[in-house]
Structure 1
Amino acid sequence: MNSFVDTNVPISYCFNLDPFNRKSETIFKKYQNIYWSNTVLNEFKKTLNNKKNALRKFYTEFLIHLKKCSHFYEHQIEEYISSLKMSKKSLKHFKTSLILFWQIYIEERFPQIEMVKRSVEDLLIELNIIPYKNRKKLIEIIKTTPKRIESYENLLNKINELGVHYPDNEILLDAYDFNMNYCKALDFITFDLKCYEAASEIREFLFNEAKGIYDFW
């Protein structure tokens, strides 16, 4: 089976605190041939560094907070997140990350504060290793498509009208070009809702299937 993946799929694979990490692992086990374009590859490298740095900053500040506490339990996550000055999108993202952190790294319901601090310290060390280890693995596994020459302006206009912005609009065109010229039986996979809707609704796309977050478990 062949697939073309949007940037969010390999990014989710690289971080165990990403809510779609298990879904991405399923994708890489399921498909025999997985492709991305240079557009995806370049965005992947940039996004991986940005996400790693953002997580390091968040958990470094969380560790500073923990050092002021006599205890910290799972039910305090909501209160801690609410105290932060961030956009709603960032607050939601880091709340999800912290809940996953608790599920993966904390083994007790009411842990000692020292255990929580050590777990954060372990995570901070792993953030300098695991994402880049996974990046190396993916770059060896995923095949890069030939460079797209055609601009497909009419198709680009239809994609833009559905609210899909750069670079996702260009990524869709890359997948379309590869599907039409090199690989007929191709699934297009993305965890972005607007990108998924465009891949599903625009009749010019002749992907074998367009798949999103609800297609994998």
Structure 2
Amino acid sequence: HEAALAAAARAGDRLRRLSGLVAVFAEAFAAVAPLREAAQHIRGLADVAAGRGDNRQGMPLSSFVLAARLEEVATAASGRLSAMSGGRFTLVHDVGERRDRRRRAGLGLLVEDAWTGRRRDTATLSGGETFQAALSLALGLADVVTAESGGQAMDALFIDEGFGSLDPDSLEEVMNVLDDLRSGGRLVGIVSHVADLRQRIPTQVTVVKSARGSHVRTSLT
């Protein structure tokens, strides 16, 4: 009898605690649905930002921002490239078919050829044309950085080699663009072994080699 009374007391205590938990459980269960919906919404946003889910471009948010900047750089570089190539080439941000990893990231570029009226891959450019495109992109990037930094100019630009891949006419076009930069107040430094450049560069720093070592000689032509 005493054991039965003790068991009944324990059962009654459990009943009271369970009755209190029923309300707590009901309240928590009611909150699950909106939390699940919010979690699904946030997961969807995270997938889109990561280039998955409903992101039809398959482009992460970071790449999207870079692609927007690249489009600005390509626009700024096109004017330089057009001048260097005699009006033939301009650069276009590639937002079409994603054929490789760079295009999947939204960082592809195409060359628009005014002679043929078609756009083609930058890999089809010759060595000299590739150098012109790379130099144009560097100058375009400098223009965009200057514009984004409140007009603070990038006063110095150094170019290391690449001139040896240019034919005489292309070299003349590139040097005209660099001369325009110098006349605009920028310091343009060229690292090259091309002899023809000596006639176009007024201030030169020459590294002279000898058996006892090397030394630097400066000259003003």
TM range (shorter): under 0.3
The two structures have a TM-score, normalised by structure 1, of: 0.23
TM-score, structure 2 as length reference: 0.23
Higher strand share: 2
Which is bigger in relative contact order (C-alpha 8 A, separation at least 6)?
A: 1
Structure label with greater radius of gyration = 2
Judging by fraction of residues, say which structure has more helix: 1
